[in-house]
Amino acid sequence: MSRIGKLPITLPKGVEVSVSDRNVVTVKGAKGTLTQDVDSAITVKNADGIVTVTRATEQKRHKAMHGLYRALIASMVKGVSEGYKTEQELVGVGYRAVNKGQLLELTLGYSHNVTFELPKEIKVTTVSEKGKNPTIIMESSDKQLIGMVAAKIRSLRKPEPYKGKGIKFTGEILRRKAGKSAGK
């Protein structure tokens, strides 16, 4: 039994959910419009501002998809009403981040600057204050897209375990190693 799949999704003010005959769920809100294809074994119903997700049978695959699609639709509803935000810090001497529209230019200690083009659905800002690490702030209504882009940016220079240099999420706790011990 899927505990997540059974939970109803209550729609906040200004959010509309529509289900097409091809099982495509469309969520519209103040922050944009998102769509999601839903498997044919899963039924999505919208009645009086409450969205319910049900499955056809008790097969293991259907149980797994039941919770998955309910979670995806719930994150879409939250995204179009409130939105999602991620913050990443660049830790290291000389590490910088500058955005020019949808282009993010990163200086990460390589022999060249890394330019990263962001999708148009993501709004990016960079903050560089004296005495603090440069920060990249991204906002979007699509949780999957912003998570994928944030992971891609982090993979450009992952934090290393000795000094902690690299790109990390704000508030992320890194596992640190001691390094070499001094000789006798």
pTM: 0.88
DSSP letters spanning 25-64? EEEEETTEEEEEE--TTEEEEEETTEEEEEESS--HHHHH
| pLDDT tens digits, 143-164 | 999 999 999 999 999 999 999 9
Find out whether 73 and 81 touch, Cβ atoms under 8 Å: no
CATH architecture of the region 84-169: Alpha-Beta Complex (3.90)
**What is the token pair recorded at 168?**
């990390």
> How would residue 179 be classed by pLDDT, with cut points 50, 70 and 90?
confident
How many other β-carbons are positioned within 10 Å of the β-carbon of residue 27? 26
Same fold across 3-81 and 84-169: yes
| Average pLDDT score, the chain | 93
> Across the beta sheet with 114-117, what order do the strands follow?
96-100, 103-107, 114-117
The CA distances from residue 130 to 20, 126, 127, 147, in Å, are 52, 13, 10, 28
| pLDDT tens digits, 19-42 | 998 999 999 999 999 999 999 999
| pLDDT tens digits, 58-68 | 999 999 899 99
Average pLDDT over residues 113-142: 95
In the chain, where the domains are located: 3-81, 84-169
- Cα–Cα dist 76/43, whole Å: 17
Q: Residues 3-81: name the CATH superfamily.
A: Ribosomal protein L6 (3.90.930.12)
Per-residue model confidence (pLDDT) at position 4: 87
- Cα–Cα dist 115/93, whole Å: 19
- Cα–Cα dist 72/70, whole Å: 6
